[in-house]
Amino acid sequence: MNMKIIIVDDEKPARDRLNRLIGGLDEYQVVAEASNGSEAVKLTEQFEPDIILLDIRMPVMDGLEAASHIFKMKHPPAIIFTTAFADHALEAFETHAVDYLLKPVKIDRLQDALSSCSRLNRAQIKDRLQDIGLNEVRRHICARVRGNLVLIALEDIFYFHAEQKYVTVRHTGGEVLIEEPLKALEVEFDEIFVRIHRNALVRLDKVAGMKNNADGHQIFFNEIEDKMEVSRRHLPGVRKILKGL
C-alpha cells in the first residue's frame, strides 16, 4: 500500500517539481496539494496523509504555524519542511530529527527524507513534532464546527470567554467553541489580548472603551454590541492599559 503524501507550497512550479519526483518513486502517492498552510491543515484533516512536504514561507499561514495545528491532531502525519533558505531554523529541525529539504529539491535527498519518515510510527511522529518547540505565535485559532475544521484569523476575534471546559471564541463571523485552556491562550497571546475577568480575554485593538453602569464596569467594542464584564480584581490593570491605548 502506497504512503499518502500532501504537497504544500505557494509556488505551483515547486509543487509540480515535487509531484514529478514523487511520481517516479514506488510506494508513494500524492493525494492532494495546497498553496498555503490554512489549506494544508484542512486537507490533512480530510485525507489523513502519512507524510506532508511543507514549505515554510507562505502567505495566509506559514508552514510553522500549519505544523503547530497539524501536530495537535489525533493522528498527525510526518512533516518534511521545504525551504529555499538555509537559515538557523534548519539546525533545530535537524537536531530534533524532523527532516527538511532545500530547494530545488534533489531526488536523492527526497528519497532519503521519505524513507526516514516512512520508518516512523505515529507515536514517534507526534513526539518529534512536539520536540521541535513550535513556539511561533499562531495567527489563527483552529475549531471544529459540525464535524468540519474551521480556521479563524486572530485579527477577526473580539474575545475569548470560558465556561466549564469550553471557551467561546467571538469573531466577526459569529461564535465557535474550542477546548483550549484560557490560561494557555492568555500566555500565548499576551501582547494582543488582555484578561478582564477570570473567565474572559478581550482583544485590545477591538475595544472601544469601558463604561460603569448598574451592572458594574463593562468593556464594549467597536464593531459588535456585545459587552463584557470587568471584574473588580482586574479593573485597575484594565484601566491602566486602556489609558495607554
pLDDT value, residue 96: 44
CB 38 within 8 A of CB 60: yes
Q: Model pTM greater than 0.95?
A: no
Domains contained in the chain, number: 2
CATH number for the domain spanning 193: value is 2.40.50.1020
Find the domain containing 118 and state its range: 3-131
CA distance 77 to 39: 15
Identity of the residue numbered 72: K
pLDDT value, residue 121: 64
Instruction: Identify which of 4, 40, 10 has the alpha carbon closest to the alpha carbon of residue 22.
Output: 4
CA distance 50 to 242: 48
Instruction: Give per-10-residue mean pLDDT for the chain (245 aa).
Output: 93 96 94 96 94 92 88 85 70 55 90 84 60 65 87 96 94 95 92 96 95 89 95 94 80
Statement to judge: residues 22 and 97 lie in one domain: yes
pLDDT value, residue 83: 84
CATH number for the domain spanning 15: value is 3.40.50.2300
CB 185 within 8 A of CB 201: yes
Statement to judge: residues 127 and 149 lie in one domain: no
pLDDT value, residue 171: 98
Statement to judge: residues 218 and 237 lie in one domain: yes
Statement to judge: residues 111 and 152 lie in one domain: no
Q: Using CB atoms within 10 Å of the CB of residue 186, give its burial: 0 to 12 exposed, 13 to 18 middle, 19+ buried.
A: middle
